[in-house]
């Protein structure tokens, strides 16, 4: 059987690079196209030098309406606010996994409040299924369009959803997140420039991060009627990874054995979620599609710790999980590499 054909829109950033790295090792697909207006005609390996010897692709500058020609599925690895216009120009029957935030939220009003700009294609919002694979796989199998979650949102939802589904997410939740510099994208900025970042640790967007509304919306789908969340993300001096500390204040006592049972029932059969017996380390998931989860309790407080690679489980790896479901492959296909810890 011939391989399924994949196009990537906007392949110059870290998301596009990780998608291509993983897809080149996927046994069931071939990448036929990567697009970039600024890098048109340049070899892909001229930008992504880690892929030298693995691909002969060159960046193409195609109109969005033709970018998916001959492709079975299109990944949109474009910036927030740009992706919606490109996807709106694609034929209606094009299968799409969008890595931006443009189709994660339920309404144009929520999107504008989170991202500070109006939504240009609100008529398409209902076509997209939120792609937190472990909790939405049945809906993803039945759709052609997936909104891939944000990296912080992925880790936070993995931390909280088991409690939401068990009816124990009924009190205030304090979320603290730490991310590496790759979360800010490939374009150099003051906050990602190495001399500024290497010895710095700072909070940013406290209580107003754009991923908070998608976390709330997914938890409501999971059964929590009114999530009481506060979220403070932090920028740390490492490159890859996200670490989430979730302090959940339940309305009544929660024994540690009950807490562990809730998470075993939620994740015991999940291929990419590992319940670990000590606090997780981002180094143990770097380069992999695994999420490590650790839980403890004291009185009415449940502590949940989660570590993921922001570029894999938090972006490209989860996008491929979703692609696998849309195209009918086993969910783990092409994603079983271990972390690259030394």
SS3 track for 126-137 = HHCEECCHHHHH
- Give the 3-state secondary structure percentages of the chain, helix then strand then coil, rounded to 5: 35, 20, 45
Cα 88 from Cα 80, distance rounded (Å):
14
Q: Which entry of 151, 156, 250, 340 is annotated as an active-site residue? A: 151
DSSP label at residue 279:
-
Cα 263 from Cα 265, distance rounded (Å):
5
Active site residue 340: no
C-beta separation of 216 from 160 below 8 A: no
- The count of other CB atoms within 10 Å of the CB of residue 294 is 18
Pairing assessment for the beta strands 73-76 and 4-9 based on DSSP bridges: parallel
Cα 18 from Cα 24, distance rounded (Å):
10
Point out the residues that are catalytic: 151
């Amino acid at each position: 059987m011939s391989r399924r054909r994949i196009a990537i829109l906007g392949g110059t950033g870290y998301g596009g690079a990780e998608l291509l790295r993983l897809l080149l090792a996927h046994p069931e697909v071939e990448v036929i196209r990567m697009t970039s207006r600024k890098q048109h005609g340049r070899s892909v390996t001229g930008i992504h030098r880690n892929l030298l010897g693995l691909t002969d692709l060159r960046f193409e500058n195609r109109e969005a309406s033709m970018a998916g020609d001959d492709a079975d599925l299109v990944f949109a690895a474009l910036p927030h606010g740009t992706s919606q216009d490109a996807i709106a120009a694609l034929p209606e029957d094009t299968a799409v996994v969008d890595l931006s935030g443009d189709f994660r939220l339920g309404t144009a009003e929520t999107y504008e409040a989170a991202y500070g700009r109006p939504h240009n294609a609100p008529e398409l919002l209902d076509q997209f299924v939120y792609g937190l694979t472990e909790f939405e796989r049945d809906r993803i199998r039945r759709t052609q369009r997936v909104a891939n979650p944000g990296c912080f949102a992925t880790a936070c939802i993995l931390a909280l959803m088991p409690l939401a589904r068990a009816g124990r997410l009924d009190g205030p939740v304090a979320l603290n997140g730490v991310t590496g510099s790759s979360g800010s994208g490939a374009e150099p900025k003051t906050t990602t420039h190495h001399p500024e970042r290497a010895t710095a640790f700072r909070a940013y967007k406290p209580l107003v991060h754009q991923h908070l509304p998608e976390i709330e919306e997914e938890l409501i789908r999971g059964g929590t009627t009114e999530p009481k969340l506060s979220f403070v993300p932090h920028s740390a001096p490492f490159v890859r990874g996200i670490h989430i500390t979730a302090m959940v204040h339940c309305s009544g006592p929660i024994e540690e054995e009950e807490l562990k049972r809730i998470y075993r029932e939620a994740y015991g059969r999940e291929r990419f979620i590992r319940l670990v017996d000590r606090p997780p380390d981002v180094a143990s998931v770097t380069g992999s599609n695994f999420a490590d989860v650790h839980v403890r309790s004291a009185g009415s407080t449940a502590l949940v710790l989660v570590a993921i690679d922001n570029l894999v489980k938090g972006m490209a790896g989860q996008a491929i999980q979703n692609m696998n479901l849309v195209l009918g492959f086993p969910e783990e296909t092409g994603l079983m590499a271990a972390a690259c810890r030394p």
